A = this chain, B = another copy of it.
Amino acid sequence: MLLGRVAGTVVASRKEPLMEGLALLLVRQLDVDDTETGSYVVAVDSVGAGVGEVVLYASGSSARQTANTRDRPVDAVIMAIVDTWEVGGETVYEK
């Protein structure tokens, strides 16, 4: 999984039927020191994340292992909202 910050939303009305009802969020990837890496992903939200929140997301087939992404053409899912992380005993981020 990778750390990311929800940066925005994507709206798509014409889509695969299996994509109906899924919230699509733009997530900027974060480095371990809480800086943006420049990479992003559009992920399905499975935990009610909002813009600005720090999240964990999973990619690939693992992204289809949640109740609302199973068997859908989805390769990234937000499956946790991060409260805090620490590196070497120091808190890097706290919600």
**Chain A: residues with CB nearer than 8 A to chain B?**
1-3, 7-16, 18-19, 24, 26, 28, 31-32, 40-43, 46-48, 51, 56, 58-66, 69, 71-77, 79-89, 92
Contacts and interface: CB of A to CB of B under 8 A. Distances in A.
Number of this chain's copies in the assembly equals 5
A28 to B, nearest CB: 7
A26 B32 contact: yes
Contacts of A61: 60-62
Nearest to A92: B8
B82 A8 contact: no
Nearest to A81: B14
Contacts of A72: 62, 65
Contacts of A43: 1
Contacts of A77: 73
A26 B46 CA distance: 22
Contact of A7 (B1, B19, B84, B87): B87
